[in-house]
Structure 1
Amino acid sequence: MVAVKNLLNNRGQAEKEFKVEVEAIGRVRHKNLVRLLGYCVEGAYRMLVYEYVDNGNLDQWLHGDVGEVSPLTWEVRMNIILGTAKGLAYLHEGLEPKVVHRDIKSSNILLDQQWNAKVSDFGLAKLLCSERSYVTTRVMGTFGYVAPEYASTGMLNERSDVYSFGVLIMEIITGRSPVDYTRAPGEVNLVEWLKTMVAERKAEEVVDPKLPEKPSPKALKRALLVALRCVDPDGHKRPKMGHVIHMLEMDDLLCRDDKKPGRDAPQISDRYSSRDGGNFSKRENQRYR
């Protein structure tokens, strides 16, 4: 069993460039990346052949008709986030030239029967030499996930993927789409709504109501802190994916002050506010730098 993707509207894609990039991506091997098995170039046709992953995609499980209670527990969701982060870290930091995916979104995260995440669809991926950015006149990606600097200037680097990943974390936590025009005006844009909720100390109200069990406050803070750092409006302040993995796996993500006797654990909104655009304190930034 294989999955075949037929790339449409690709006549502008030079055959040589297509072959070079696909052959490079075809050599990628990672448990959290869908393996590209082959491709076809014939006339105007461009087809990609992937391994078949048999449990649908994350978008279907988050937004499809799954009943009143989602099978995606908090633990499953965090494992999906971590697996996706590891796949992206490999693309960004484990390869030369590195690979920028350009279209990280829930429908491109495939799941196997054990709910392991596999990042798929490298049809928009771009190879970049180390420490370089790529300027494109045609912005690729999906509305709601695209980094602001990429959308406005066409400047592409791995920080574009980090932003999309931050939006994905928010989507997984809340069960909401990145952009939803059926919601109230202040809730249409997921990123802005979540920033507001956190700044108003309402973080626990953002959790997907279909979760079978709510996460602990500490676990929720950990995930939200990572998401907010990834969607920092200033791309240079976003963490690299390797750093994101470190943050997700840390048991003491919250300040060490949490463990000091006689002190209350700091709230997320103590370190983050909509006023400063999502910048963390110097102490927070130094810890993750």
Structure 2
Amino acid sequence: MPPSQTPHRTPLRRVSQGSLLRLSRSGAYPDAPRGLGFLEPALAEFVDETDALQTNIEGLTHLSDSLATFNESFASWLYIMNMNALTTDWPQAPTPESFALAKRRAGEKAIAAAEALKKQAEEAAAAREAELLADKTAMTEMTEADVTTVGNTTGISGVSKIDSGGVKKKVMKPKMSAKERKERDMEIERIISALPLEFRGSDPTLRRHMETVIDGIMKARDQTIKLPDLIKPPDLNQARVNKCLIALVNRKVVQKDNSAGTVLYHWRGLP
């Protein structure tokens, strides 16, 4: 009889090769219960994990419900605020009375501005009056001889212009060259720079008057002149000429002489 041969077997899976009974009775688990008893601890652990999963799922469900409740409540609150804004009269919103009040306040501001302008105009007028008063005070420094000279000179000048035959004489003034005029302007500028501030540019009109007075004295014969000869109304009146002469006399640019009964002003210039 031929020797026995191992029968051919189809390869089985690992699970099939390691059956539950074989695994339960293997040496690795000598104390394992017989049959399916060893599954009890594994199933108990599985049940515990399943309970934990169920608890977590219930927590997520509760969180979802809470979020849904919050969303619904918050949306309701926003809707109520929107409706409240559309239906409630806010006391701070502009009303017709507010526009009337703003118009009245604008009128009050316009009146206040007009009063301020009027006050400034009054102050300017008072300043002009004070300046005129100062000019009049300066005029009082003229002697009676000055006043007499004004009357006599007026008559003499009128006679000198018309001769005995009633024919007017034309007096020809010598013309200055450009160089001489430039030198005279430089001398006038030097003299004005030595005078008080009001003549140096603080008052442009007063500076122009001073230049005219100085130029008139320098053009006069022997650079000696009387006060009436410098008067050129209406711009350069007697008070303004006298004010300019007083400043020149104080600076010793011009010398005042009334020894002959007639007030004369002699040009001296700056040293």
Report the TM range for the smaller structure's normalisation: under 0.3
Q: Comparing both chains, which one has the higher relative contact order based on Cα–Cα distances under 8 Å and sequence gaps of 6 or more?
A: 1
**TM-score normalised to structure 1 length:** 0.21
Answer with 1 or 2: which has the greater Rg.
Answer: 2
Which one has the bigger helix percentage? 2
**TM-score normalised to structure 2 length:** 0.22
